[in-house]
Structures are given as C-alpha cells and as structure tokens.
Amino acid sequence: MSISPKITPIYQTSVFTFEDLNALEAYFQEPGQHYMYTRYGNPNSEELAQEVNKLEHGQGAVATSSGMSAILTAVLVYAKAGDHVLCAEEIYGGSSSLLSNELSRLGVEVTYVPTADTYSLAGYVRENTKLFLAETISNPMMMVMDLAQLAQKCQAKGIKLVVDNTFASPVITRPLELGADLVIHSVTKYLSGHSDVTAGVLIAKEAEDAARAAQIMRTWGLNLSPFESWLAARGLKTLKLRMREHSANGLAVAQFLQQHPKVQAVFYPGLAEHPQHDLAQKQGNGLYGGMLSFRIADETEAVNRFMKALSHIPFAPSLAGVTTSISYPLGTSHRGLTQEQQEKMGITVGLIRLSVGIEDAQELIADLEKGLAAI
C-alpha cells in the first residue's frame, strides 16, 4: 500500500536509524539526504525553515527554539569575542538584554545608535564593528526603518545588516530585497500566529551565512522541536490571510483611538500623521500590520482601570495571535532598561501596546471604548 500524506507528518523522534556504515558515510557526504539526530536536523524543522526562506526570498534558513535564539544565532554568525556590534537604540528589550548582559560577558561589545544617527553611523563604526541590528518596525513605538537607506550605509561601512522582521512579517516587508544580510523572526508571533508555539527562524541572503547559522544552531543546541516545527508550519499556511485582517483591524482601531478624548497619542504606521507613514506605505505593500501603541494618562491606576474594564481583550505580554491582546512595555518587554532609556524612547507609565487580532473590528472597538470609559 502506498502512503502519500498531503501534510508532512510529525517526525517525533530524537534519532534516526542507518542501514549500514555506507549509509552513515552518505549522511556526512550529503547532509539533508538523510537525518541522524534531531538536534542536527529534522524534516519538520527543515520544512518550516524552507517555507519561510521562500517567503523572504533568501538563500537558506534555519529554525531555532525561540526568537531570542534566532537573534543570538544571527549575532554569532558575524561576531566573536573582541568584536563590536551596533544596535538601534529603539529595540526590543530582550535584544538589548542579550547584547548588554550576556554577549558582553563573552567579549562582544555593543553600542546603541540613537535614532537621529541611524542613517549616518558617523562616529559609531570601528575597525572591529561587524554588524548593525535593527527592527523593521520598532517595538513598542512603531518607528519604521528605511531599510534600503540603512543597508546602503552598512555596505559603505563594510558591516552586515541584521533585521528583526517580526512585527512586519514577509507579507509586509522583505528586508533581504532591500539590502539586509540576515533576517530574523520570532516565529512565536505572526508566522505561527496562534499563540501556541515558541520558535524562531533566521534567513540569510548568502548560502554560506545560512550554513554558518545551522552550525551554530547544532553546536549550541538551539534547535526547534519537531512538534513545534509542525505547528508553526501549519500556522504559516494562513499567514497572508491573517496579515490582511490584522492590518485592516489595526487601521480601524488606530483611527478610533486617534479621535478618542482620553487617548493622548497613537503610534501606528498606517495613520497619515505617523512620521514614517509614506515610508511604511512604500515599504509595506500597502499593509501596516496589527501592532500599535497608544498613550493614556501617565497614572498607574488609570492603566489598571482600563485593563480591568476590558471584557474580551486580555493583558498578555506577547503579540501577534489571532486574538487581540494588550501589553505594558514599561513593566514587561522594556522593564530592564534604565529610566533614562525608557523616557528617551517614550516608554511612559501610560503607554499601552496593542496587538490587534482578526476578530470583528467593531467588537474590538466596543471593548476598547468600555476600557477607556473606566479611566
């Protein structure tokens, strides 16, 4: 009987068998034609990596155990002890913690580049500078990076550009086509999309960088499990549909919040008033995603009243699921920053980050109206 499954089965195994020594040698001569140990490679994790690679138009990709392990892998592809790394000042708090608190202990030095100096890098690049880490859309202030301009500057300075494309997804922006060298995603977020997976992925413009990333993943034990790989690959199949809904709802919610008297400011690239709106429109294929932030009164009690009054939108410190959620950057993703850094980025007591899902937009607006009425 011939069995031809339409969907890749779950290869829930830690190890694969060989027929004989000839088969073992064939594995080492042609990796990918056979599997040996799931930390080295598994059909499910490779399927996920290959599908994301297609979406990002890369030359190779590697699935990892989380978004953070994808960031770690990306930095290690280019940097070693004694090297210097540049990082955008407006960055996910976990990324800055990794660079400042952990990689610094391994001899990798980091300098944070203020937004005003991003496209010049004047005075920041050293002889040992290896890469610049940035986000397509910054977390949590939704600043849109001009990736083509930044890539040109990095190339002129002889350094690599690594872009975290989590907030945008390849449906909105493909950084490799704009000049980036490596792209990373927290697959946990939009790529998987259902808040039931923790995973990451790295996509390279050059095949040799993808091979180096795979070596780091295997050696450091950063591999993704077969089951989570399978779940993520399943979620990926609806990415384009979901991103359209996230974007449509995001714009509707942002427009509602913008006109509400209790909302002081809204940060969403789809709004005409956003400082990078034209860039986001050009770089984003007409979509702006489902992530936004807004500011209410800078009072802890006001934030608590708002959160408690919501009936359908939970306070959940993550993002990009099919259901809407709110997060609090000051107390979660960016709590590790100094007060001076938080204030400089605009992360105040009243700043709330909203991950807009794919529910009916009017139902979301009604729930937000209820929360704002409680302030």
Amino acid of residue 217: M
Specify whether 196 is catalytic: no
Could you write out the three-class secondary structure of 198-228?
CCEEEEECCHHHHHHHHHHHHHHCCCCCHHH
Nearest Cα neighbor of 291 from 348, 333, 329, 249 is 249
Specify whether 117 is catalytic: no
Specify whether 288 is catalytic: no
Q: What are phi and psi of 325, to 5 degrees?
A: -150, 160
Nearest Cα neighbor of 111 from 178, 155, 159, 175 is 159
Amino acid of residue 193: G
The size of the chain, in residues, is 375
Catalytic residue among 130, 160, 174, 189: 189
Joined tokens for residue 151? 């890539």
Distance CA 217, CA 125 (A): 28
Distance CA 264, CA 257 (A): 9
Amino acid of residue 335: R
> Taking the mean position of all CA atoms in its chain, how far away is CA 232?
14
**Terminal CA-to-CA distance of the chain, rounded, Å?**
66
* Residue located via tokens 């089965």: 9
Neighbours of 304 (CB within 10 A): 13
Cα distances from 51 to residues 104, 138, 278, in angstroms, run 33, 25, 30
Specify whether 39 is catalytic: yes
Joined tokens for residue 153? 């500057």
Reduce the DSSP state of residue 17 to 3 states and report it. coil
Catalytic residue among 164, 181, 205, 212: 164
Question: Quick one: 50 exposed, middle or buried, by C-beta within 10 A (0-12, 13-18, 19+)?
Answer: middle
Catalytic residue among 11, 35, 92, 328: 92
Catalytic amino acids?
A: 39, 92, 164, 189
